[in-house]
Amino acid sequence: MAKIKLTCSHCGRLLQCDEAVHAIKVKCPHCKHTTAVAVTALCPEQPVIRRVPKWKGKGKWLWAAGVLCLLVVLGLVIAPFVLPARLHWPDRRPIGVLFLASNYHSSATNPRGWFNDPSLDVTGPGGRERFRKALWKYTDRSLAILRRTGAQGVIVWDLEGEQFPHKTTFIGDPRLVDRLAPEMAPVVDEFFARLRNAGLRVGVTIRPQQLVFGDNGVPRQTPVLNMQRVLLSKIDYARAHWGATLFYVDSNYGMWRPDEWWQLRRVAEQRPDVLLIPEHHDLAYLSFCAPYVALRKGASAITSPWARKWFPDSFRVLEISDASSDWTGILAARLNGDVLLFRAWFWSPECQFLEKSVKEQP
């Protein structure tokens, strides 16, 4: 077998190696340094044998995997417009919102910030009774506003209070009321009963995450793979205990999690008597839920023509708080079938607008 002769670049000694060795570097046995083998050092009579990268032999499989991924993506994009719509909610009257607390108004005696009143003492002797009286006062005031505005129902945004800062402020898990809001737990059933007895649908906020408590007792919202199971568990708890049918889905992922559309659609299919109102969404969500839109953030009150074309019975839930500069657009949206969402615990310009709309109805 022919030999390749070369000189070590470090110690200058003569080296040689078999031509069959296809390495591009050779280790010197004297100084242990490596020396590059030039292709021209090979014997001209012998053909240069080049190694074929392993991945080149798998090219057809890479192509197949790419085509499969493309088909999956196309399926995710096309399916929402091919599968039949699952949303049936003929009642388009307004929906009120109740914020029971504020983290910005929490204090040592009111750690969950109930009723935006840091001076309220819900701790110690008589604390629960003081909370109960404040809750009934808040409820009576809200019911009066809900009647005047012709609301179909009301969503309690922060049933567990707001003890923790952003991004855990809204807990979105009605199963944890006993643990997180001990002063609310004894009266929560009666609270929802008062709302239902006034002829209102009731609802709560839910989140597609799982609340996990750290070693220091501070909770955090943790993403889950099976959000369908988590959401169904929360929905079923609120339905069984309080007859809830309105659910604002807070902090969902929208387009950033492709499987969410399928999982939320399955939730809507399995619980057809509830209305899902997701915070984040795209056009495809209109086929099974009523997307949340906050007009105060600059969103348009006019529904896209594409939405009306693909999903004729669809509608959005428009939050009209602090959006008094566009009453014309809001009125047009309402006449087109969108549902208006408003703050119902105090009288505001949007309440006045809704009351006027009720009186002008034939």
Helix (H, G, I), strand (E, B) or coil at 173: coil
Q: Is residue 70 part of a domain?
A: no
pLDDT in tens, the chain (362 residues): 556 666 777 777 776 665 544 555 667 777 766 766 654 444 444 454 555 555 555 666 676 777 677 655 555 555 555 566 578 999 999 999 999 999 999 999 999 999 999 999 999 999 999 999 999 999 999 999 999 999 999 999 999 999 998 889 999 999 999 999 999 999 999 999 999 999 999 999 999 999 999 888 889 999 999 999 999 999 999 999 999 999 999 999 998 898 999 999 999 999 999 999 999 999 889 999 999 999 988 777 777 787 878 888 899 999 999 887 788 899 999 999 999 999 999 999 999 999 998 888 75
Q: Is residue 111 part of a domain?
A: yes
355 & 300 share domain: yes
* Rounded Cα gap, residues 39 and 321, in angstroms: 76
31 & 159 share domain: no
Name the residue type at position 189: D
Q: Domain range spanning residue 36?
A: 3-41
22 & 151 share domain: no
7 & 150 share domain: no
- Dump strand ranges (E) for 242-331: 246-249, 275-278, 292-294, 317-319
- Dump strand ranges (E) for the chain: 3-7, 14-18, 25-27, 34-36, 95-98, 153-156, 201-206, 209-213, 219-223, 246-249, 275-278, 292-294, 317-319, 339-343
15 & 147 share domain: no
**What's the domain count of the chain?**
2
* Rounded Cα gap, residues 107 and 113, in angstroms: 7
Q: How many CB atoms lie within 10 A of CB 67?
A: 10
The model's pTM is: 0.79
Token couple for 45: 């009579």
26 & 165 share domain: no
300 & 173 share domain: yes
Nearest to 176 by CA among 198, 162, 190, 160: 160
191 & 336 share domain: yes
279 & 225 share domain: yes
**204: β partners:** 156, 247
Burial, 241: exposed, middle or buried (Cβ in 10 Å; 0-12, 13-18, 19+)?
middle
Nearest to 329 by CA among 316, 317, 320: 320
Token couple for 322: 């602090």
